[in-house]
Amino acid sequence: KKINDNFGHHVGDEVLILVSDLLKETMRSRDLLSRFGGEEFVALLPFADSNKAKAIAMRINDKIAQYDFSSLVLQTKVTFSIGVATMTDNQMSFDDLLHNADLAMYQAKEQGRNTVVCYQNISEAPS
């Protein structure tokens, strides 16, 4: 949002394209990436336990943090906050899994951006 506000939607779209390319380069060939909202992505990582999922998320975070976005004339940092949630049993719905990842992502944002948080390491606040 800050990039769109400061540099225009065209630059924001270019950043999203670059970020999605960086994500795809970092992920495994069997993983699935989708843009979920304005500036949110969802990645499905089949056969990845919480340790593997966190390792992939940390690689993604490092790649984004190290990338030089100056080709887009950006004078701001692009940050990533990643929430990781793993399916603990076959009875868990996709909505529950997504909810857990979302909670972890917001915890990562609260911790200062460029952070990876796993759902099992946070406690859900009462509604």
- Asked if 78 contacts 63 with a C-beta cutoff of 8 angstroms, the reply is no
The arithmetic mean of pLDDT across residues 8-30, rounded, is 89
- Which residues are tagged catalytic? 39
Domain carrying residue 75 = 2-119
Q: How many domains does the chain have?
A: 1
pLDDT at 92 over 50: yes
The arithmetic mean of pLDDT across residues 48-73, rounded, is 87
pLDDT at 5 over 80: yes
